[in-house]
Copies of this chain bind each other. A is one copy, B any other.
Amino acid sequence: MGVVTSLQVAERAGVSQSAVSRVFTPGASASAKTVEKVKKAAAELGYRPNMMARAMITGKSRIIGLVVAYLDNQFYPLALERLSNALQAKGYHILVFTASNDNDHVARVVEELMDYQVDGIITASVGMSSELTQRCEDARIPIVMFNRGQDGGNVSSVTSANLDGGRKVAEFLLACGHQSIAHISGWLGSSTGRDRKLGFTRTLTQAGIASRVMDGMYDRETARAATLDLMDRRTPPDAIFVGNDHMAFSVMDCLRTEMGLSVPNDVAVVGYDDVPMAAWGAYNLTTMRQPLNRMVDATIDLLLSQVEDKTAPPRAIEIDGALIQRSSTRKPKDTTNEGF
């Protein structure tokens, strides 16, 4: 057998090829009799329309390109899974590309995506230069950045409220009575890393507290080295805010296993994301929740609205998250301000 074409179905059903097409084309109409004959013949032959051929004519491939960098941070595989499920339910599918965060690499990958005539692009955990987003705009391919923003650009993006999240963490740690506070940030080359840091340090500064910041690069080993460095100083911090959970686990491992310190008694640790692992017994990490489902839904709504209406303007959506208190921090003493 191999491939069955609409023509073969047409012959078997005793109708024209275009009749077969109409039966399988969502918007088209055919008489009940025709529909029945065609469906029967198609079922017998195991016919299904060829999406490639359909895509060529309609100009819509129903493929969404997903560019992703770090799959070792649990947040992203989970996002991928949710995105894939939600898009599958709407009849779209995901063509995955892995790229490092190097702009040239991302650019190459985007070109390859365009070769497949994808209907839209989602980037997760990777940044895009404005030239690159311009290239997509020229090619009329809508794009949504997931968990990343672009500073000057007019690209769509979905993030959590990172500035506000940083602020909430700072206020929480202050309420816990911490005075010596450090921040191991997300990669400061990413908007996400920068915003969290900015919201955090700005709030501490306003409270008259100096903050030591080191760039953790979203990397376990870098975060570990930063931890050792911070704890080695004259006045080591008694609280560390880490730019995401993935690094926070490394920080906790280093503190406890390598340095023999207690979390939270010696050092409190706060993360960002609230990946499922943060709730596991081994960590029980206090963290800022990024509401994954809502972020995914917003991403898909935004992207598909632009796929269906190319004139829809780009939007930057921020989703609010809550601080989830667990046992990697102590209870706040100062409860005058519970608005973490």
Contacts and interface: CB of A to CB of B under 8 A. Distances in A.
Contact of A48 (B51, B84, B111): B111
Contacts of A140: 2-3
A256 interface: yes
Interface string A73-106: 0101110110011001000011111100000000
A339 B283 CA distance: 35
Interface in A88-142: 88, 93-98, 111-112, 114-117, 135, 138-140
Q: How large is the interface on A (under 10, 10 to 19, 20 to 34, 35 or more residues)?
A: 35 or more
Nearest to A255: B281
B93 A98 contact: no
A55 interface: yes
A50 B116 CA distance: 7
B56 A81 contact: no
A3 B139 CA distance: 6
Interface in A279-319: 280-284
A71 interface: yes
Interface string A43-85: 0001011111101100001010010000110101110110011
Contacts of A93: 95-97, 112, 116
A1 interface: yes
Interface of A: 1-3, 46, 48-53, 55-56, 61, 63, 66, 71-72, 74, 76-78, 80-81, 84-85, 88, 93-98, 111-112, 114-117, 135, 138-140, 249-250, 252-254, 256-258, 276, 280-284
